[in-house]
Structure 1
Amino acid sequence: MSKFYYGGQAVMEGVMMRGRQRMVVAVRNPSGEIVIHEEPLTARIYTSSWGQWPFVRGLSLLWDTLGLGMRALMWSADVAMSEEEQKIEFSGPVAWTTVAFSLLVSIGLFFLLPTSIAHFLERWFPGQLASAAIEGVVRLGLFVAYLWVIGLMPDIRRVFMYHGAEHKTINAYEAGVALTPSEVRKFTVQHPRCGTSFLFIVVALSIVLFAPFHFDQWYLRLASRLLLIPVLAGIAYEFIRYTASHLDNRLVRALIQPGLWLQGLTTREPDDSMLACAIAALVPVLAADGIQVEMPARTAPAAMPAPLAA
């Protein structure tokens, strides 16, 4: 069995962690208590052997982001803003409508707009490579600007602090130290397998991968970009896995450095209460995989909804 890399994402006032068997979200409610949601991972992308094939397994990262990640984010918002846990809903039409709208905005902003700008500038900068480079630079510029702008919002800054807590906790676990706030606090908020680095790699690779698909019709270009997203995700994921296991190599460290720098926009130093929340999310994930560590004090789990359908 190949090595499994634990990870997760920040949510509203909490952290989501994912393992081989289980996903756990730990969120602080307005009373300051940590509310836990645990859910088994039953989708075929996790349970089938083909889901772990090289390049195919990168799709699980997309599934996490679009499926589990968005659901966890919506649930955490309900917990963070509600005193009554029985009113919390982890899924539903409102959540999935929000996801669909967010996807449409993302496609328009990070795919349609850069493609259109590159198409317009071709009269002054002709050629496939020049067009792909302009498209990639515009896409990266929009991505960096977006992260910088949302980082100015107080609520998002707190999410970025929880993002830092998630990274510190994973770093501490991988270093083999005790999962306590005092120990976890010593680690960096940067992590080489961060989703921010993953997206940077996707943007960088898109310059080369999109270059051959130099259609004159903008809608064909856009269609080719959308169809190539799974391919980009697969290649980027394998790059992340390779570099994660070769961090002692100077060339590898140089290649991942831009992604680590970019994490400066999406992480902040967390406080101890945030670290405790991240630890509370990771410990049951490890336990589900047969890795026993001391369980921190926590509140009772929230009621478990139906698992995410495959």
Structure 2
Amino acid sequence: MTLRGLFALAAPQSVGGQAVIEGVMMRAKDKLAIAVRKSDGEIVTEVRPWFSLVVHPWLKKPFLRGFPVLMETMVNGIKALNFSAVQAAEDDEDDTELTSWHLILTMVLALAAALGLFVVLPHFLSVGMEFLGLGGDVDSLSFHIWDGVIKMAVFVGYILAISYIPDIRRVFEYHGAEHKVIWTWEEGKELSPESTRFYSRLHPRCGTAFMLFVLVVSITLFAILVPYLLTFYSPENFIVKHLYIVGMKLFLMIPVSNIAYEMIKFAGKHSKSLFCKIMSWPGMMMQVLTTKEPDDSQIEVAIAALQCAVNAEEC
């Protein structure tokens, strides 16, 4: 029987997750569960409702749902990270979590940092290539080739750089534990460190694959749409022109995320096809960097999170 066949028979519901500080967050339907290993070795769990922005019927339609899903995932992820940071801290005197305003500010700063690093910086480095005589103007294909190459280099370089931070490496280990436990769940095996440790730490539905789809779609869409839109309006001032283009790129991240979301949904639904395996391969390879092999104690935490997510009433 194929893996998907096993999944259909064994797993009553699809699950997803995220590594947090000394723990794992798992989602099942409209619930999420966070499990964190405290400094004294105790595993603390908490079940919460999944905060959703996809409430209007129109936002559930293909090619419209991707961006709100991305935003709600960020909200739930930041909340889970904050909870884990509080629980994992050795000093329990200050155990308050982020207020709503702090959460909004954190989201804004996180979005600004991501867009600045992966949209704004590559654009202006590509402008530098034009000055060096290695590329053309923004309406040329060479500009967008440089933009894509730099964007990929920044993404891979960023992952490589943070992987050397000990605390981030711990998060990557919990990321690996999350994937191993989800594989075990999908194949209907016993949820224990013994039965889980031999599964792959790579998973085709990982958010790393989604980020790669976002990068690929943005490169393609920018190369097509930016020159086209410049035919309608192109400021003569050099600085104003490029600020205008960067503004366009930031706005285009909404359709980019919508398209990327449908791509990863399609790849997951038709994972047995050769085409989808080829689509998923780069994301799987990136997970070699964003996941590390966990130990049994980390797998135990991921199991606790998954069990609470699917059996919320028992936690």
Distance in 2 separating the partners of 1:29 and 1:284: 17
1:76 aligns with 2:84: yes
1:169-228 alpha-carbon deviations (Å, 9 max, x no partner): 111111121222211212100011111111111111111101121346111211111111
2:226 corresponding residue in structure 1: 213
Distance in 1 separating the partners of 2:77 and 2:102: 15
Given that 2:126 and 2:146 are in contact with CA atoms closer than 8 Å, whether structure 1 keeps it comes out as: yes
Q: Give the aligned residue type for 2:23.
A: G
1:237 aligns with 2:254: no
2:29 corresponding residue in structure 1: 20
**Structure 1: gaps spanning 5 or more residues:** 296-300, 302-310
**Structure of greater Rg:** 2
1:58 corresponding residue in structure 2: 66
1:186 aligns with 2:198: yes
Distance in 2 separating the partners of 1:191 and 1:237: 16
Give the structure-2-normalised TM-score.
0.84
2:40 corresponding residue in structure 1: 31
1:64-94 alpha-carbon deviations (Å, 9 max, x no partner): 4421111211221111114538724254555
1:287 aligns with 2:311: yes
**Structure 2: gaps spanning 5 or more residues:** 1-11, 235-240
Instruction: Give how far 1:166 is off.
Output: 0.8
Count of aligned pairs: 288
The DSSP-based 3-state class of the residue aligned with 1:268 is: coil
Alignment of 1:85-164 (within 5 A): 87-91=95-99, 93-122=101-130, 124=133, 125-126=135-136, 127-164=139-176
Distance in 1 separating the partners of 2:252 and 2:122: 15
Instruction: Give how far 1:41 is off.
Output: 2.3
Q: Give the aligned residue type for 2:108.
A: A
The DSSP-based 3-state class of the residue aligned with 1:17 is: strand
Greater percentage in helix = 2
Distance in 2 separating the partners of 1:171 and 1:51: 30
1:250 aligns with 2:274: yes
Distance in 1 separating the partners of 2:76 and 2:306: 16
Distance in 1 separating the partners of 2:184 and 2:172: 18
Which of 153-162 and 65-74 deviates more?
A: 65-74
1:173 corresponding residue in structure 2: 185
Which of 135-144 and 171-180 deviates more?
A: 171-180
Distance in 2 separating the partners of 1:7 and 1:85: 32
Instruction: Give how far 1:54 is off.
Output: 1.5
Instruction: Give how far 1:121 is off.
Output: 2.6
Given that 2:181 and 2:191 are in contact with CA atoms closer than 8 Å, whether structure 1 keeps it comes out as: yes
**CA RMSD after TM alignment:** 2.3
Give the structure-1-normalised TM-score.
0.85
Alignment of 1:267-278 (within 5 A): 267-278=291-302
Distance in 2 separating the partners of 1:97 and 1:279: 32
The DSSP-based 3-state class of the residue aligned with 1:15 is: strand
The DSSP-based 3-state class of the residue aligned with 1:213 is: helix
The DSSP-based 3-state class of the residue aligned with 1:173 is: helix
